[in-house]
Amino acid sequence: MMGFILADLRRFKGGALAVVVLIALSVALSVAVTLQERAVRLGSARAAEKFDLVVGAAGSETQLALSAVFLQPSPLPLMSGAVLEKLARDPRVSFAAPVGFGDSADGRPVVGTTTALVTALSPTLAEGAIFARLGEAVIGADVPMRLGAQIKPMHGAADSGGHTHVELAYTVRGRMAPTGTAWDRAILVPIRAVWQLHGMGAEAEHGHDHGDEAPDGAAAEDHDHAVHVEPDAALDEHFDAETPGIPAVLVKPKTMGDAYRLRQEYRSETTLAVFPAEVLTRLYATLGDARSLLLAIAIATQAIVVAAILLVTIMHVGARRRQIGALRAFGAPRRAVFAIVWGELFLLLLAGFALGLAIGYGAAWAISAALASATAVHMPVEFTRADLSLAMWFAALAVLVSIVPALSALRLSPAAALRA
Amino acid sequence: MLALDIAALEMRFPGLDTPVLSIENLHLPAGGGLAITGASGSGKSTLVNVVTGLEPATRGSVCWGDTEITRLPTGRRDAFRAAHIGLVMQDFHLFPGLSAYENVVLPVRLARRLKPGERERALHLLEISGIARPGQPIETLSRGEMQRVAVARALLPKPGVIVADEPTASLDRRIGGEVADLIVRLARAEGATLLVVTHDPALVERIGRHIVLDGGRIIEDAGKAEAA
């Protein structure tokens, strides 16, 4: 039986191949849409996971979330440094890290922040150590630089007409472990270095009695921040009301309740507080709509393809009347004829489905890889249990669809078929 | 081997006033031979179709031995034909993409597993039919060889009857003669009743009994005495 089906398919290999390819492409379309949407959703959800609450100046919530989570370059309005001071002292906050965007190096974002955020992103570094002086940097896992390398930050991005800061070159001191987020592409530097490079050294007039991570008792530091930045100056991660303006603060609240209360409090005339995950969920709703639309188109394509294949096979059965009649005449039982015609089409549909799965998976994988290399956000391309039921549906449909020409073959009278 | 008994058989097609076949009575003893001739449209093919159970009869009965196949439902008719009637057709109806051997065993294989010994029988039948290489793809054989393979296929299930519909008409004279010889020889050797529709006088001659159809009726029945 199988031998006959295969011999028959070999005989019509052009047509068989066309049917397989048609099915494969239409299946690949829906597979790719489903997988890709899931990959983007999961990937960005995981990327947002590390950022519970983002506080920024009043403006666009989406912009604030996207900038913080994906380090999307965009001019965020600055908010008063006093907000950072208040957050840092708030007992409900386990840490509040300022992030200063705007600079880049080789197309990678240079982000000013504090050691607290580095520790939060990568509790243990892949290599090296956290920055301890103004002129030091920690790089994300995907940044292709070695420890000790020099980074010349550029204001803005090269392709948008930025200029290089000649005043300071950072030295790479450490590398974070991979986080699967956009921060893997980032270069993290002390926030104060960023401020000073941009002439925002309001604290120049103040002598701070605080050193790195040590709240009290550290040696006082004398800063000379005209335009010159002292790369060897020690860190100062204490922020007061005189702190310069910052685009955003990443906040790690102690409890869920604190998170909601903080968000409530910092939604005001001048500041904005968002849960990035929530903002992304809203974006996914839009993304989900797009997915539904694409999927509907893909399924409609499949329906058209199936209808076309049905037409072709029914015509094909017509063209094979003699062969089918002869099979019956020479003693093949009707069930064998039915099984042959059904089996041939079912086999083609199944082969097309399998090929389509592979193509769709490959396409989603390639798209995810391209996206990941552009954003560093790891996009997991994976099948889930829900896909199994889709596959079952397809199999059931394939069984039903291939029954149609088989039934039409059964209705042929062998004598009439032989006469044809 | 099976005897054929036809009684009050009538075949009508929709839209035609007169029956295309009308046979009051025809008896062919088991192991006997019968040649059927007649102009085209005389009802020869219809007769073949009804005695092989490819088409149901409008009225009357066709019996092979104790089985009245005109009373069997389609599925049982198919099964009876598969088990007892070896068919050889003018156009061979072999299946490209399969070898000579695979073509011989195909109908049996599509119905059930090959019985022990059937493989050897298939190879033996091919050999005595003059097919040297059973594994040769069917489409590379000559027309004469193709019909020989078809004959071997018809004989595989040890049928009690062989029905051949113009078995030599699409072959040239010499090859046709050889195929005709093969059919008659094998039918005798297997002890099968032989029914042949043919225009070939040499083949008619070899079979002995000969009926002529015209307008669906038997107008001549010659050689009955010798055959019976």
Domain membership of residue A279 (yes or no) is: no
Same-domain status, A192 and A312: no
Kindly tell me if the per-residue pLDDT of A304 is higher than 90: no
Exposed/middle/buried for residue B98 (C-beta within 10 Å: 0-12, 13-18, 19+):
buried
Answer whether A329 sits within 8 Å of B83, measured CB to CB. Answer: no
Mutate to test the interface with A, among B110, B138, B151 (most CBs of A within 10 A): B110
The encoded tokens of residue A94 equal: 């386990």
Domain membership of residue A256 (yes or no) is: yes
Give the model confidence (pLDDT) of B39-87 as tens digits.
888 888 888 888 998 888 888 889 998 899 888 988 888 889 988 999 9
Evaluate whether B227 touches B208 at the Cβ level (below 8 Å): yes
Same-domain status, A73 and A206: yes
Same-domain status, A262 and A183: yes
Which domain, by its residues, includes A167? 53-274
Same-domain status, A387 and A266: no
Under the banding of pLDDT at 50, 70 and 90, the label for residue A162 is low
Same-domain status, A169 and A185: yes
Same-domain status, A292 and A168: no
Please check whether residue B206 touches A, CB under 8 A: no
Output the furthest CA–CA distance in chain A (Å, rounded).
Answer: 107
Give the model confidence (pLDDT) of A215-224 as tens digits.
333 333 334 3
Q: Which CATH number fits domain B4-92+159-227: 3.30.230.10, 3.40.50.300, 3.30.565.10, 3.40.190.170?
A: 3.40.50.300
Under the banding of pLDDT at 50, 70 and 90, the label for residue A160 is low
Chain A residue closest in CA terms to B83: A331
**Phi, psi (5° rounding) for residue A64?**
-65, -45
Among A244, A274, A304, where does a domain finish?
A: A274
Same-domain status, A295 and A318: yes
Same-domain status, A397 and A266: no
Answer whether B87 sits within 8 Å of A332, measured CB to CB. Answer: no
Among A233, A248, A274, where does a domain finish?
A: A274
The encoded tokens of residue A24 equal: 């494969």
The pLDDT of residue A84: 84
The pLDDT of residue B101: 92
Measured distance CA(B60)–CA(B91) in Å, rounded = 30
Kindly tell me if the per-residue pLDDT of B152 is higher than 90: yes
The pLDDT of residue A220: 36
Q: pLDDT averaged over chain A?
A: 80
Measured distance CA(B228)–CA(B219) in Å, rounded = 19
Same-domain status, A325 and A304: yes
| H helical segments located in B3-65 | 44-51
Same-domain status, A176 and A236: yes
Mutate to test the interface with A, among B77, B106, B153 (most CBs of A within 10 A): B106
Higher pLDDT, A291 or A202: A291
DSSP state for residue A343 in the 8-state scheme: H
Kindly tell me if the per-residue pLDDT of A22 is higher than 90: no
Please check whether residue A415 touches B, CB under 8 A: yes
Please check whether residue B83 touches A, CB under 8 A: yes
Domain membership of residue A280 (yes or no) is: no
Chain B contacts of A417, Cβ < 8 Å? none
The pLDDT of residue A217: 35
Inter-chain Cβ pairs, chain A and chain B, closer than 8 A: 78
Residue B220: CB atoms within 10 Å: 11
The ipTM value here is 0.85
Q: In 3D, which of A388, A348, A383, A385 has the Cα closest to residue A364?
A: A383
Under the banding of pLDDT at 50, 70 and 90, the label for residue A298 is confident
Same-domain status, A76 and A166: yes
Domain membership of residue A217 (yes or no) is: yes
Domain membership of residue A392 (yes or no) is: yes
Please check whether residue B102 touches A, CB under 8 A: yes
**Phi, psi (5° rounding) for residue A137?**
-140, 155
Query: Chain B window 132-171: which residues touch A at a Cβ cutoff of 8 Å?
Result: 153, 157
- How many separate domains does chain A show? 2
Chain B residue closest in CA terms to A334: B75
**Phi, psi (5° rounding) for residue B130?**
90, 25
Same-domain status, A153 and A77: yes
Give the model confidence (pLDDT) of A24-53 as tens digits.
888 888 888 888 888 888 887 777 777 888
Under the banding of pLDDT at 50, 70 and 90, the label for residue A159 is low
**Domain segments of chain B as ranges:** 4-92+159-227
Domain membership of residue A9 (yes or no) is: yes
Kindly tell me if the per-residue pLDDT of B125 is higher than 60: yes
From A354's Cα to the closest Cα of chain B, the distance in A is: 26
Kindly tell me if the per-residue pLDDT of A210 is higher than 60: no
Please check whether residue A336 touches B, CB under 8 A: yes
Under the banding of pLDDT at 50, 70 and 90, the label for residue B227 is very low
Kindly tell me if the per-residue pLDDT of A208 is higher than 50: no
